Amino acid sequence: MKKSENVLNEKDVLTDILTGEKDLVKLYGSGITEAVAKEVKKTFKTNMFETAEDQQTIFNAMQNEGYYQPKPADKAVIDEKKESFCQSMKTQKK
């Protein structure tokens, strides 16, 4: 196996970091809802927001390099999801 076969390119590295940052935000969110001590919750919140900022920075870098180009959302799909969410909320309140 050649040494160069084990080297990740920039896009792969950034994608890996972006995925990790997104996962960390989710984990901190779970930690906030599970923690009892106010100081622990505060630390999780601080870390979550800092991680979200890091994620945004990585996303912006990827977008600037052309590695990550999200597709515009279709208005019909947005409206459908919104209606589904509203129906779900109404059902939960009953």
pLDDT along the chain (94 residues), means of 10: 73 95 97 96 97 97 92 89 87 73
pLDDT at 69: 85
pLDDT at 49: 98
Domain assignment of residue 1, yes or no = no
Domain assignment of residue 25, yes or no = yes
Q: What total number of domains does the chain contain?
A: 1
Domain assignment of residue 66, yes or no = yes
pLDDT at 32: 97
**What range defines the domain where residue 41 resides?**
7-93
Domain assignment of residue 74, yes or no = yes
- Name 54's Cβ contacts closer than 8 Å, sequence gap at least 6: 21
The pTM assigned to this predicted structure is 0.70
Under the phi-then-psi rule, with left for phi > 0, alpha for psi from -120 to 50, and beta for the rest, what region is 7? beta
CA distance 36 to 45: 13
Domain assignment of residue 53, yes or no = yes
pLDDT at 93: 72
Domain assignment of residue 2, yes or no = no
